[in-house]
Amino acid sequence: MSKEKRSPMIHLAKRSEIDPKAAWAIRFGSVIVALILGMIPVMITGNNPIEAYGIIIKGSLSKPMYIKQTLKVAIPLLGCALAIAPCFKMRFWNIGAEGQITAGAIAASYFALYWSDKLPHIVLLVVMFLSAIVVGGIWGLIPAFFKAKWNTNETLFTLMMNYIIIGIVAYLQGGPWEGRKGSQIIPMFAKNARLPEVFGVHCGWIIVLVLTLLMHIYMNYTKHGFEVAVIGDSSNTARYAGMNVGSIMMRTMFLSGAICGIVGFITVSGANHTLYSGVANGVGFTSITVAWLSQLNCFAMIIISMVLAILTKGSNTLQTKLAVPASISGIVTGILLFCMLGCEFFINYEIKIRRNKEAKV
């Protein structure tokens, strides 16, 4: 024979299909692996990891007070994950949620600061809500417009837009909206401009739960949702079916920005009662994790955003109790994301080990 060709011992092969049950088993396994890996940094700090996980759970769920605080963290995460879900479904990588939240927060804050004595409570809140939708939506629309017209890169564009709007807040903070001169702080909102509480937590939670239901319907049962799904699979097919890809892209990004705007409104009116440049507080980025971990399933987002909120809130307790840095929650979240994304690889590919040499024909 002219040549002896050996295939390697181990190689990867693309799976043609996988049983959904097996896929979920792999996903569940990856969460377990992530939790186990998450123990390592705790052990490095010289603590018992099992005890640490216990404290995280206790510190976030054991008292009504803790639960309220955990919910406050979960609300914006869930809202924002809902906002970026249709973009990601369309494969439009909107990582500018941070900026769109901030844009909505600015609009709501304007009315909170300058119209609170002129409008009654409910009317003021509705005006703040609507203005946040419009401004957040426009902030999301801009990168989509450029993408549709000149095919700019949406990832970079939306990211850059974040820094612009955060800069604008910093300017307002130190300039026109500054409270006491030299304080660099915008004054607290009047009572009139604050969201009422329901069961001890600002009513933002009702808003995001309603949004969850609406977004689920939007993505799965509406004409718009169908268009988004088709574009996500193949924009050529969308064109073939007579869809105007550019305008659908702009419409979806407006919607996404608008929901982010609502999150911004909830944050300033319900939680912070004021505006500062860090108002979004990384929610725009963390919510990408939420959306991705839930595979863009709106109801799964409720669970995932709660899990991340528990990790965040519980880690703060962990810090006071065991002097383990609170950034442990960031580490565990990171490991979780890494494992979940990594497991998609094992869902799509299988590892084949060569047993014996195949007979040559």
Partner 1 sequence: MADNCAVELRNITKRFGSVVANSGINLQIKRGEVLSLLGENGSGKTTLMNMLAGIYQPDEGEILADGKVVAINSPKDSYALGIGMIHQHYKLVDVFTAAQNIILGINDEKMDIKKTSSKVREICQRYGFDIDPDEKIYNMSVSQKQTVEIVKVLYRGADILILDEPTAVLTPQETEKLFVILRNMRNDGKAIIIITHKLNEVMAISDKVAVLRKGEYIGTVNTCETNPQKLTDMMVGRAVTLNIDRPKYADPKPLLKIEGLTCVDKEGIKKLEDVSFEAMGGEILGIAGIAGSGQKELLECLTGLYPIQSGTIKFDNDGEEVNLVGMAPMQIKNMGVGMAFVPEDRLGMGLVGSMGMTSNMMLRSWKNGKGPLFDKKAPESLARKIWKELEVVTPSTSFPVRRMSGGNIQKVLVGREIASNPKVLLSAYAVRGLDINTSYTIYNLMTEQKMKGVAVVFVGEDLDVLLELSDRILVLCGGKVSGIVDARTTTKEEVGFMMTSIGGKGGEV
Q: Which residues bind partner 1 (CB under 8 A)?
A: 2-3, 5, 16-17, 221-224, 226-227, 229-230, 233-234, 236-237, 239-244, 361
Of 184 and 235, the one with the shorter C-beta distance to partner 1 is 235
**Range 19-42 burial, b when 16+ CB lie within 10 A, else e:** eeeebeeebeebeebbeeebbebb
Closer CB to partner 1, 1 or 44, in the complex: 1
Tell me the DSSP string of 257-292. Answer: HHHHHHHHHHIIIIIISS--TTTTTTHHHHHHHHHH
Q: Phi/psi of residue 253, each to 5°?
A: -70, -35
Helix (H, G, I), strand (E, B) or coil at 357: coil
Give the count of alpha carbons within 13 A of 351, CB side only.
6
- Minimum CB–partner distance for residue 17 and partner 1 (Å): 6
CA distance 284 to 295: 17
Beta carbon nearer to partner 1, 228 or 288: 228
**Minimal distance, residue 240 CB to partner 1, in Å:** 5
User: Which lies closer to partner 1 via its Cβ, residue 62 or residue 244?
Assistant: 244
Give the gyration radius of the chain's Cα atoms.
24
Q: Half-sphere exposure of 333 toward its Cβ, with a 13 Å CA cutoff?
A: 24
Q: Which is nearer to partner 1, 62 or 234 (CB)?
A: 234
176 in Cβ contact with 186 (< 8 Å):
no
Amino acid identity for residue 309 in this structure: A
Minimum distance of partner 1 from residue 249's CB (angstroms): 16
**Least Å distance between CB 22 and partner 1?**
16
Shortest distance in whole angstroms from residue 231 CB to partner 1: 10
How far is C-alpha 28 from the chain's CA centre? 21
DSSP E strand boundaries for 9-133: 10-14
Closer Cβ to partner 1, 246 or 325, answer by number: 246
Minimum CB–partner distance for residue 175 and partner 1 (Å): 41
Closer CB to partner 1, residue 235 or residue 319? 235
> Which neighbouring-strand residues pair with 202?
197
In the complex, least distance from residue 232 CB atom to partner 1, rounded to whole angstroms: 9
